Structure 1
Amino acid sequence: MPELPEVETVRRGLAPVMEGATIVAATNRRADLRFAFPDHFSRRLTGWRVASLDRRAKYLLAHLTSGETLVMHLGMSGRFRIEGGDETMDPGRFHHQLPALAAHDHVVFQLAGPAGAFRVTYNDARRFGFMDLLPGDAIETSRHFATMGPEPLGNDFSGPVLAARLKGKATPIKQALLDQRVVAGLGNIYVCEALYRAGISPRRKAGTVAGQRAERLAGEIRQVLSEAIEAGGSSLRDHAGPDGALGYFQHTFRVYDREGRPCGVCGGAIARLVQSGRSTFFCGACQR
């Protein structure tokens, strides 16, 4: 599933053609994705301008001049394709990304704006993504965001904030960080990477991550996400083959998907264990 950096990469790719553009036409080619489309979906979008395109955790938010906000989630295989002029752009290609087939083009936006006329198509082979429309002043109280934790790249995230959210939790820190109520937007890849950089065992009880340990972890979460976003941005200029696998991004991983390979710090073998059905990659010597 695309994680926060991948979704931010997609946002940055879409923003130049969507922000300030009017949705001339919107077409949903089926009645549902993971969930049913909102009532009168196309009609509520058509004719309105996209004032801004934001991200909250793993969600994209298109704020419309109608006062509503289009909420978009990529699910496991969702992706956007931009077509305009002589170019076709694919904003955000991920590690193990599936190839896009036109049969899975489910939503099409026809846009006209400062950047010109474009068609933005949402493609989703597995249909685990979804789209919703919310009143702009009800986003944070909606079912999508009401219980969501702080944005890890926001000003409200820090070591003390993280420690407070972990206090008293007996679950392993790896599982706690995947809980969107603790920190918004973190996924399996970057939790593994941040824990490795912070020297914290994925098995450690979450409630024991406090003080300097929490400060270090919060800092590494920020750092690894920031680096991953920049790597994703580089991938937009350095595409790999048409199967969508990157020629750069996955090479930034220090532990994720590196079972049996040497740790870059101690030289020991990177290990893998399964926690709540998810693979965790770590160095048993460096992470305590």
Structure 2
Amino acid sequence: MPELPEVEVTRLGFADRIAGAQVQAVRLGKPLRWGLGIDPAALAGRWVQAVRRRGKYLLLDLEPGLLLLHLGMSGSLRFADQMPEPGKHDHFDLVTSRGTLRLNDPRRFGAVVYAEGEAAPGARKLLGGLGVEPLGDGFDLDVFHAGLRRRQAPIKQVLLAGDLVVGVGNIYASEALFAAGIRPTLAAARISRPRAALLREAVQSILARAVERGGSTLRDFSNVDGQSGYFQLEAMVYGRAGEPCRICATPIRQLRQGQRSTYYCPRCQKY
């Protein structure tokens, strides 16, 4: 599943190129997870002002209105001056004066939803429960630690929930916990303020590095130009069960948490 770095890499790949474009047409393929919520023809003539990100959602600011895009489990976006005829898994085309933005999604768990603005009920339903952005100035240590102190669930699960800090998906939660020396099964409430500071720093640095490396390509992900990400080649624990830890050579362990695979080093992550 594309996580925050992959979504941010996608945004960076076309945001400047599509800003200022006028929508000429919208083509829909097979139904996605949620309906568009507006007659596609009604979007023609509108202007794309900017492309933002909120968690794993891309927000296309229109004049007027807003499109919210989610890549689901296997979705990817392409943006180009010319596109071939839509294929079997191409389910949304936004044709503009500067090029076509296309959503390809084999599993169709992605979505493109129209709202009048972020305050509209449909947008609030999707965005209202999201936590603070980890790469922004609002990721405050005191607020983060206070939130952890209220949670008895394992810290890995708290990170994945997304209501305290948004976008720390499965890959990057495992990597950040390793960098902070915290075992993924530890109750969040037991994490001290100094440990919370280490974790906050690890989350920020891991996500920033992943964006720099173009995200992680494990199965489907590629950016808007069709290029793969390379962060997975630098992973310290994720996907390395049974392999020696890059720090202490202890075999990396794997366990299941909430039906997701977690990877950790039992020696480096004692706490």
TM-score by length of 2: 0.90
Q: How far apart are the structure 2 equivalents of 1:231 and 1:247?
A: 6
- Preserved CA contact (<8 Å) 2:66 2:117: yes
How far apart in 2 are the matches of 1:245 and 1:252?
Answer: 17
Q: Structure 1 residue 248: deviation in Å?
A: 3.0
Q: Secondary structure at the match of 1:251?
A: helix
> Which residues of structure 2 form unaligned runs of 5+?
none
Residues 227-266 of structure 1 mapped to structure 2, 5 A cutoff = 227-232=209-214, 246=228, 248-266=230-248
Q: How does 1:99-110 map to 2 (within 5 A)?
A: 102-110=87-95
CA contact (8 A) 2:216 2:228 kept: no
1:35 matched residue in structure 2? 34
Normalising by structure 1, report the TM-score: 0.85
Q: How many Å apart are 1:71 and its aligned residue?
A: 0.4
SS of equivalent residue, structure 1 residue 232: coil
Checking the alignment, whether the CA contact within 8 Å between 1:149 and 1:182 is kept in structure 2 is: yes
Which position in structure 1 is the counterpart of 2:186?
A: 204
Answer whether contact 1:158 1:215 (CA < 8 A) is retained: no
Residue type of the alignment partner of 2:89:
H
1:231 touches 1:249 (CA, 8 Å); kept in 2?
yes
Coordinate RMSD, CA, aligned = 2.3
1:132 aligns with 2:116: no
How far has the Cα of 1:29 moved from its partner?
2.3
User: What secondary structure is seen at the aligned counterpart in 1 of 2:214?
Assistant: helix
> Which stretch shifts more, 245-254 or 121-130?
245-254
**Which of 59, 69, 72 is the aligned partner of 1:72?**
69
* C-alpha deviation, 1:181, in angstroms: 0.9
Q: What aligned pairs does 1:75-224 form with structure 2 within 5 A after superposition?
A: 75-84=72-81, 102-112=87-97, 117-138=98-119, 142-224=124-206
Q: Displacement, 1:4? A: 0.1
Determine if the alignment matches structure 1 residue 284 to structure 2 residue 266: yes
- TM-fit CA distance, 1:75: 0.1
Contact 1:160 1:210 in 2 (8 A): no
Instruction: Give percent identity, aligned residues only.
Output: 40
Matches of 1:20 and 1:216 in 2, distance apart? 41
Structure 1 CA distance for aligned equivalents of residues 35 and 254 of structure 2: 38
Which digits, 9 at most, give the CA deviation of each residue in 1:26-82, with x for residues without a partner?
11123x201222131x1332111111100000000000111x110000001111122
Give the drift of 1:139. 6.2
Q: Provide closer, same or farther for how the CA distance between residues 154 and 81 of structure 1 changes in structure 2, counting only shifts above 3 A.
A: same
Cα deviation, 1:201-230, whole Å, max 9, x if unaligned, reads 001101112311111100100000000000
The runs of 5 or more residues in structure 1 that have no matched partner are 89-100
Q: Deviations over 1:114-152 (max 9, x none)?
A: xxx312211111000011112224169700111211111
Q: CA deviation at 1:255?
A: 0.6
Deviation at 1:14, TM superposition (A): 1.6
Cα contact 1:175–1:275 (8 A) shared by 2: yes
Query: 2: CA distance between counterparts of 1:222 and 1:283?
Result: 21
Aligned pair count reads 262
Partner amino acid, structure 2, of 1:128: F
1:234 positional shift: 11
Between the aligned partners of 1:14 and 1:285, the Cα distance in structure 2 is 42
